[in-house]
Structure 1
Amino acid sequence: MVYLMACFMLLLMGVCAVGMVFNIVMGNNLFIPVMPTIVKRPSQPKVVPNTLVQGPTARAPQCPDEDNAHRFDCYPEDLATQEKCEARGCCWRKPNGVPFCYFPPDYPSYSLGEVKSTPLGATAVLTRTNASSPYPKAVNQLTMDLRFETDTRLHLVLNDTASKRFEVPIATPTATGKAASPLYEVEYSHDPFGIVVKRRSNGRVLLNTTVAPLLYADQFLETSTSLPSRNIYGLGEHRGPLRHSTDWVRIPFWARDKPTAEAEEDVTNLYGSHPFYLCVEEDGQAHGVFLLNSNAMEVILQPAPALTWRTIGGILDFHILLGPDPNSVIQQYWDVIGYPMMPPYWALGFHLCRWGYNSANRTMDIVHKMRDAGIPQDTQWNDIDYMTSHLDWTYDGDKFAELPAVVKDLHDHGQHYIMIVDPGISNTQKAGTYPPYDVGLKRGVFINDTDGNPIVGRVWPGDTTFPDFTNPITQQWWLEMAADFHKKVPFDGMWIDMNEPSNFVDGSTHGCPDNELEKPPYTPAVVGGTLAAKTLCASSQQHLSSHYNLHNLYGHFEIIASHNALVSIRGTRPVVISRSTFPSSGRHGGHWLGDNKSSWKDMYYSIPGILNMNMFGIPLVGPDICGFGGETNEELCLRWQQLGAFYPFSRNHNTLGAKAQEPIVWSAATQESIRSALLTRYSLLPHLYFLFHRANKMGEAVARPLFFEYPTDNNTWGVDTQFLWGDSLMVTPVLEQGATKVTAYFPNDTWYDFYSGRPVVPVGQNVTLDAPQDTINLHLRGGAILVTQQPSTTTTASRKNQFGLVVALNRTLEAWGGLFWDDGDSLDTEGKKEFTMIKFFSSRNTISSQVMMSGYPGTKDMSLGSIRVYGVAQKPHSVMANKEAVNYSYVQDSQMLSLNNLTLPLSQPVQAMWA
């Protein structure tokens, strides 16, 4: 009776499954049937013909007055009519702003067969019960494979029982046994099939597919779920606030070269595809769901709240991640897709580029002026203007004849060089004069059309062919082309653009065939309305499958090819910055946010952009500082450079024809403010490097939203104008024109002004901060120890300087931190034990270090030159460092204790005390 009452209450909320429910008992591999639910749906035929609905269905749908928020769209195509809707067996009502045509509660889909235990969980066959299907080639039988892979990860796969379907060719972890103490419980409904996943600790429903029918045809797969809250994040790549609206938002996924729109928010498909969401529940617990599928798709968010996945190929391969906090969800997601690469130290410096330098001399002139101004810069870049006629793996022998000398000069000054490389390879050069095409054609490295010939599109060099990076032969060819060019211009990294892939024509120069891949039964709401819009024909053929299946993976496989080429050529950690990405791309490279605009709105949207990419496992990320398109101005560029000094990847870049926006073009006052922000960044690079190390080894995001650290504080759930480095350094930029004050939210914790050490009072609320034009607000959370270093204008020079500590005591007068240090460039320094790891901790009046590993050869030359301690309530009478009295200063107003002019060797334990 208790169960029946509970089920009745859940049914009212759309949660309790209708039909026979099976509860999985994890301890002894049994599936114990529990009492049937109150309402039992009518039985349906077990074997059905594979047909389309051609007219009104014989089954009269039950169409109660459904709450509008709980309507699930039965006719997502345009031009729905009542006749078309009812022909699908669905309900027709016409309120504004919600689907007119929606599924009735008795809509048939699949029935669940016998559930059998497996070593990892359970399996069963699902049989289609609908006598007709709204989409052709409906799959009659599905195999459900449910795997209890870890205590916090549930893996659900729905696949065609009879036929092999395309699956994403990315390795994911393989469990060896069933989870022993899972945080989840699973229930099924029998007819129609549905699955319910609950959080075991409180019974909260995290996933409930019984709210709408499962549809599974060859080119149309759809499933829906209720959501436990409206706090939904992720689902990229798109432009908009960090937290998604659930007010009937349609989010498409299909990699596309598309400049940002002028609208307030743009949820059209952009450069990458990341079908993962994180949900923060009402009590602050969190979970995530990842659909491993690379086909064109869309997600619908509706105010129930609920979510619908709709894809046009592949399989339904879900990873459900239980958290229970946001940081844990991200770690569990990265467990599936792989932890991000460890970048070389120099990649964390400041990068400078523009389209329109026009010559090697102009490029070198910018570098010289940056040096003369004393503004930090580690890497100089070139856009496509360095090439001969925009041809990959060439440089202009007239305007850029001195490019090798430019690169040598950069290297002589401890700096680096990166150039752009697009995937499109010209096919119009005279035979025998352009090896990238001649050799590539001979080896068959290009994507083919349906006739077996290289498909021809058009990009910067004119007519072009497109390498198929899923082909191992292509990856070897790419390496050879890069190696030949590196002999002439010894570049240090690769900037790979236009790799959605972008195309100036739709499909090809000859159009696309008229077939089911080009004109699927349903096309998600992609920009351009067709899959071929400004990219390749979906029916073009690649080594692993059709472009229809592989399009969203194009940039990902180019990242891998470029990563491997750089490792082979240079023998050091590679830097690959790509525009198009996919889950697990962060294992091989980084990302810039694409063609933004010089606007205050775009500067704001860059923060959700970098935070989303950190969730997606690509922490080396940043936008074009000061904006790519349009014209910037001095105030906007100053504020953006201040913010950009704290992007994980920091690069200023703009477009052809726009006025210059390098730091050296502005007034002396603005230059000084930019210099100050960048020097602050460089002083913090040891800490940033430590965060990247933890991302690489521990699965922790580098840049984080506030709610990652304070998930139970609902005031943080919508904050996307501030962010954190790691768990402790808060960045609060100015994002509005003319502002000299900024509002920051401080969670209920101990916070200090980073520069002065002054405690923030009050906390747990918004605080208005002064923000003069020479300042970006930084605050440090109590409990943190940051390792700093005296900055220089390159990382090469900075790494030779003394280190420092910034110690922020928490309410119990404790703090922790660490330093990971190696040569900053070599591969696998941890595997070779050529690194140094030091832990720092502080308790009450004592700071200590512990050398965990001392394998870096230069450890003997590393010394600690300064210590700043925040939160020291009283002026000490004496201060000791390594048992010797040292000079110190104390500021009563800010309660900051400073120890300077130290020379404490970090190769040995350090201890500082005050009394």
Structure 2
Amino acid sequence: MKSYQKLTTYVPQITEAAEDAADEKPLCHQKLSAWWLGGGLLMVAGLLSGVTVWVLGQIWWSQHETHPLTKCISIPEDLRFDCYPERNVVVTRELCEGRGCCFVDSQQGSGGTSGVPWCFYPPDFPSYTLGSVNETELGMVGFLTRKAKTYYPKDIEKLQLSVEFETDARLHVKITDASSPRYEVPLDVPTAKKKAENPLYAVEFSKEPFGLIVTRKASGTVLLNTTVAPLFYADQFLQISTLLPSAYLYGLGEHQSNFLHSLEWNTLTFWARDVPPTESCNLYGVHPFYLVMEKGGAAHGVFLLNSNAMEVSLQPAPALTWRTIGGVLDFYIFLGPDPNLVVQQYQQVVGFPAMPPYWALGFHLCRWGYGTSNETWETVKAMRNFQIPQDAQWNDIDYMDSYRDFTTDPQKFGALPQLVGDLHKHGQSYVMIVDPGISSTSSPGSYWPYDEGLKRGVFINNTEGKPLIGKVWPGLTAYPDFSNPDTHQWWLENLSRFYSLVPFDGVWIDMNEPSNFMDGSSEGCSQGELDNPPYVPAVLGGSLSAKTICASARQNMSSHYNLHNLYGLMEAKATASALVQIKGKRPFVISRSTFPSQGKYSGHWLGDNRSEWKDMFWSIPGILSFSLFGIPLVGADICGFSGSTSEELCLRWTQLGAFYPFSRNHNTQGEKAQDPTAFSPVARAAMKEALEVRYALLPFLYSLFHRAHLQGDTVVRPLFFEFPKDVATYAIDRQFLWGRGLLVTPVLDPGMDSVIGYFPRGLWYDYYTGSSVNSSGENLKMAAPLDHINLHVREGTILPTQKPGSSTSESRKNPLGLIAALSQNSNAWGDLYWDNGESLDTFAKGDYAYLVFNVTQGTFTSTVLHSNVEATYITVDTLTVYGVREEPKTVVVNGKEWPFTYLTNQVLTVGDLQLNLSQGFYVRWL
């Protein structure tokens, strides 16, 4: 193990990473000139940049005192770390310098750029000092001592630093109070049993001031460098900053933004909040995980396991600052190096997503405003009449009696049990909404959920130990405390009692940030430090209680201050568990609020969007981000939730939504209907066609979900995941891939009959025709009439398909088709996972079929690696091969000559095969 000296010993090792960063955002420009007053440094000014500039600058300034103002204005704008991040404060020189920081306004130096802080840390700002470091079985442990008191109350004098080399690609770094235990996220994360033998990373420290440096051994790239700004560790304010090796940063949700984040002085806030998706706002979920692409195509990820209110400030150095107001600094760093591997490694910590039931991947229909069960039923019948595929019908809060959970309106929804029975008769499913707020205003004995909840003490309490009362749809409400195991049993009983009346198939959990129509509670909140912390991140509303419950509210496990961001996760866990016990099948849960590990229990929809073109676009960065977060079952409200859609918008959105992993059309009350049957015959036919393409591809989609469940693969993925060395793919969020092989290029603007899409280098085949384009890595313009969404199959891909039916239950009876898109070497590969689509743990129990498809040397081979009874019911009827360069003279199937067709666009089709899926076969063309 290396000795732990001052950072000066590490300068040569971080130079290459500094140059990488400089390639993205050069730091050697005019604003740096004052840094090089020491003549010796001028010799290397043209060679060093980024991290090295900052390091050498610190060293120089520690040895050459000069006028304070000169020292301050000499710090490059991009490397100014905000010393006064508080909002709603006019930062004066007096306030700033009272914290021991630099103050430079727009009249001094080169300030004035939007977002550049006027108050920022000087290089010699006091922080923590690292003492001796000792080896442990998994890594090392050391102690940090505070050098001087800071301006946040209850700052902690002594910290413990633990560094664990958990796997070759995963590093775990934790900084906590050395003397007193602090709240930590109750997430079931794996613990390493032995130290990694060949880690991809190296870890070094600066002793004074303390800093952590993590480098990638293979390239020398610096992944983390926390020496650039001081560490803060107070009871309710924790802050740590790091340089980034590039500006290609993704993740950090849930926010409405481009998939590639802007580092131009951009702050992202994390505090679960009920608000329609809006830019620059904290939204429904919290995911403190990011992925960065490095120079050369490698990737790494960083996860802060912390559930308190926080914010991440991004600046163009490139650099990032974490600020949180509780818990501990508990970091996991994932080395990939492939971006797909980074996401897999992240999910090894938070958990792989659940395998959804097959019907969950069909098309879902919902609206708030059906009014009656008969009106809902008529929509279902209309969909059947036009033979438009539909798997699930939903109801919003309309079905409830006075908006109370676990009730039905006896007049308007009296026929709901009959509707559900009819859905089941037609192989369809029913999903209803359940909100966490439990009505507290009914007379005693008239509402079992509240009465029984009071008896069992399952509600969140105020500081006086009484149920905290807020307000949601039914009026005054109490909130179940899902951190209490007793609440899970009560929740199960409520769902079970309702299931005996209405045998639902899945549950939609909404309003679970938790949402509150008042701030805090009916009695307000306390004046204590939990409700009024010394620092409040940039949350919408300016207060932790804005449109939610008091942070001081008491829960079984901890205060709501600590558990707020976990509320949706804990409710999802309770709901999924209840459904397993009630139905004995895979649970289907869709949640609005989410947190890391949510994919184990539920999917997610992107919230109350609007019927606007821009919202349709925003959905793509949304589904891509949740793919990073390990929640693959994700989608947006097709055609938009609020406002009235147009026919063109809804048509285009249905085409896009047919390729959301979770596909649901949903809109609000008081607006015109927007289900496919509500539009003209032309639009209706185009929507039907798009949905039929989805249903045809469900075997492929289902197999992708199996790989996600088994090992954390992404279902929907950005192009750069497959082409990490193609920098042109890094900012693309108007296209996406299903798996590695199906490229989706939707129309996202009105009045268009064409669309431009980027095609990475290689052969790409039109999904519908098999015609190919050999791209050198370029943007191509494609025809996109109103009835068409462009789909392209990547060379070397084999897609399993199935003749679409009116529902998944009907589709699953139909024969399969196989599409093989040959590579330039005339090879291809694909696979198929198949089970009964609903049983629990089919893979673990061995009750599944798994097939691998290959094409090589003019022969297609289907190899059965595992089989079950389900596979014996299915046949393969058609093989279509794209890219057969010469017309075959003959085709042989399992040794017998077989009729075929061959088109001039090099498409070979072999039909009427009737081959049983459970038996291997081959098709050879000569």
- TM superposition score normalised by structure 1: 0.94
1:515 & 1:707 partners in 2: Cα distance? 48
Contact conserved, 1:752 with 1:780, CA < 8 A, in 2? yes
Q: 1:315 to 1:285 in 2, by over 3 A?
A: same
Match of 1:199 in 2: 216
Q: Secondary structure at the match of 1:275?
A: strand
Task: Establish whether residue 443 from structure 1 lines up as the match of residue 456 from structure 2.
Answer: yes
Question: 1:700-719 residue pairs with structure 2 within 5 A?
Answer: 700-719=713-732
Residue 505 of structure 2: which of 482, 488, 492 is its match?
492
Residue 250 of structure 1: which of 245, 267, 279 is its match?
267
2:829 & 2:10 partners in 1: Cα distance? 51
Match of 1:165 in 2: 182
Match of 2:33 in 1: none
Residues 540-560 of structure 1: CA deviation (Å, up to 9, x unaligned): 000110000000000000000
Match of 1:52 in 2: none
Residue 739 of structure 1: which of 749, 752, 760 is its match?
752
Match of 1:872 in 2: 884
1:622 & 1:19 partners in 2: Cα distance? 45
Match of 2:145 in 1: 127
Residue 159 of structure 2: which of 142, 146, 149 is its match?
142
Match of 2:620 in 1: 607
Question: 1:369-448 residue pairs with structure 2 within 5 A?
Answer: 369-448=382-461
Contact conserved, 1:7 with 1:16, CA < 8 A, in 2? no
Task: Establish whether residue 461 from structure 1 lines up as the match of residue 474 from structure 2.
Answer: yes
Give, in angstroms, the shift of residue 7 of structure 1: 6.6
Match of 2:640 in 1: 627
Contact conserved, 1:237 with 1:274, CA < 8 A, in 2? yes
Match of 1:72 in 2: 81
Task: Establish whether residue 104 from structure 1 lines up as the match of residue 102 from structure 2.
Answer: no
1:61 & 1:562 partners in 2: Cα distance? 60
Give, in angstroms, the shift of residue 63 of structure 1: 3.0
Give 2:294's aligned amino acid.
E
1:514 & 1:244 partners in 2: Cα distance? 37
Task: Establish whether residue 15 from structure 1 lines up as the match of residue 25 from structure 2.
Answer: no
Match of 1:185 in 2: 202
Give, in angstroms, the shift of residue 325 of structure 1: 1.4
Give 1:311's aligned amino acid.
T
1:239 & 1:4 partners in 2: Cα distance? 39
Contact conserved, 1:103 with 1:212, CA < 8 A, in 2? yes
Residues 319-353 of structure 1: CA deviation (Å, up to 9, x unaligned): 01111111111011111111100000000000000
Q: Could you say what the CA RMSD is over the residues aligned between the two structures, in angstroms?
A: 1.8
Contact conserved, 1:41 with 1:192, CA < 8 A, in 2? no
1:868 & 1:91 partners in 2: Cα distance? 68
Contact conserved, 2:639 with 2:649, CA < 8 A, in 1? yes
2:404 & 2:11 partners in 1: Cα distance? 71
Residue 817 of structure 1: which of 830, 837, 841 is its match?
830
Residues 723-775 of structure 1: CA deviation (Å, up to 9, x unaligned): 00001100000000000000000000111000100011444100000001110
Contact conserved, 1:17 with 1:188, CA < 8 A, in 2? no
Contact conserved, 2:800 with 2:831, CA < 8 A, in 1? yes
Match of 1:6 in 2: 12
Give, in angstroms, the shift of residue 882 of structure 1: 1.4
Contact conserved, 2:849 with 2:870, CA < 8 A, in 1? no
Contact conserved, 1:393 with 1:482, CA < 8 A, in 2? yes
Q: 1:231 to 1:7 in 2, by over 3 A?
A: closer
Gaps of 5+ in 2: 1-7, 19-40, 42-47, 106-110
Q: 1:460 to 1:247 in 2, by over 3 A?
A: same
Give 2:546's aligned amino acid.
A
Task: Establish whether residue 797 from structure 1 lines up as the match of residue 821 from structure 2.
Answer: no
Gaps of 5+ in 1: 21-36, 43-58
Q: Secondary structure at the match of 1:353?
A: strand
Contact conserved, 1:17 with 1:210, CA < 8 A, in 2? no
1:587 & 1:614 partners in 2: Cα distance? 13
Contact conserved, 1:41 with 1:191, CA < 8 A, in 2? no
Residues 581-609 of structure 1: CA deviation (Å, up to 9, x unaligned): 00000011100000000011000000000
Task: Establish whether residue 883 from structure 1 lines up as the match of residue 895 from structure 2.
Answer: yes
Contact conserved, 1:188 with 1:196, CA < 8 A, in 2? yes
Residue 656 of structure 1: which of 669, 674, 677 is its match?
669
Q: Secondary structure at the match of 1:603?
A: helix
Match of 1:25 in 2: none
2:180 & 2:11 partners in 1: Cα distance? 42
1:884 & 1:634 partners in 2: Cα distance? 51
Task: Establish whether residue 472 from structure 1 lines up as the match of residue 485 from structure 2.
Answer: yes
Question: 1:226-245 residue pairs with structure 2 within 5 A?
Answer: 226-245=243-262
Question: 1:457-856 residue pairs with structure 2 within 5 A?
Answer: 457-855=470-868
Residues 668-687 of structure 1: CA deviation (Å, up to 9, x unaligned): 11111111111110010000
Residue 226 of structure 2: which of 209, 229, 232 is its match?
209
Contact conserved, 1:18 with 1:191, CA < 8 A, in 2? no
Give 2:785's aligned amino acid.
P
2:778 & 2:184 partners in 1: Cα distance? 48
- TM superposition score normalised by structure 2: 0.93
Q: 1:470 to 1:232 in 2, by over 3 A?
A: same
Q: How many residues align?
A: 876
Task: Establish whether residue 902 from structure 1 lines up as the match of residue 913 from structure 2.
Answer: yes
Please identify, of 72-81 and 230-239, the stretch whose mean Cα deviation from structure 2 is larger.
72-81
2:422 & 2:54 partners in 1: Cα distance? 72
Contact conserved, 2:144 with 2:160, CA < 8 A, in 1? yes
Please identify, of 809-818 and 634-643, the stretch whose mean Cα deviation from structure 2 is larger.
809-818
Q: 1:810 to 1:505 in 2, by over 3 A?
A: same
Match of 1:82 in 2: 93
Match of 1:45 in 2: none
Give, in angstroms, the shift of residue 902 of structure 1: 1.4
Match of 2:311 in 1: 298
Contact conserved, 2:185 with 2:305, CA < 8 A, in 1? yes
Give, in angstroms, the shift of residue 18 of structure 1: 9.8
Contact conserved, 2:604 with 2:634, CA < 8 A, in 1? yes
1:250 & 1:859 partners in 2: Cα distance? 51
Q: Secondary structure at the match of 1:671?
A: helix
2:11 & 2:884 partners in 1: Cα distance? 58
Match of 2:34 in 1: none
Contact conserved, 1:19 with 1:190, CA < 8 A, in 2? no
Q: 1:17 to 1:475 in 2, by over 3 A?
A: farther
Match of 1:29 in 2: none
1:900 & 1:105 partners in 2: Cα distance? 73
Q: Secondary structure at the match of 2:844?
A: coil
Give, in angstroms, the shift of residue 267 of structure 1: 2.5
Contact conserved, 1:17 with 1:189, CA < 8 A, in 2? no
Contact conserved, 1:388 with 1:394, CA < 8 A, in 2? yes
Residue 292 of structure 2: which of 261, 275, 279 is its match?
279
Give 1:901's aligned amino acid.
D
Q: 1:151 to 1:40 in 2, by over 3 A?
A: farther
1:4 & 1:425 partners in 2: Cα distance? 58
Contact conserved, 1:111 with 1:192, CA < 8 A, in 2? yes
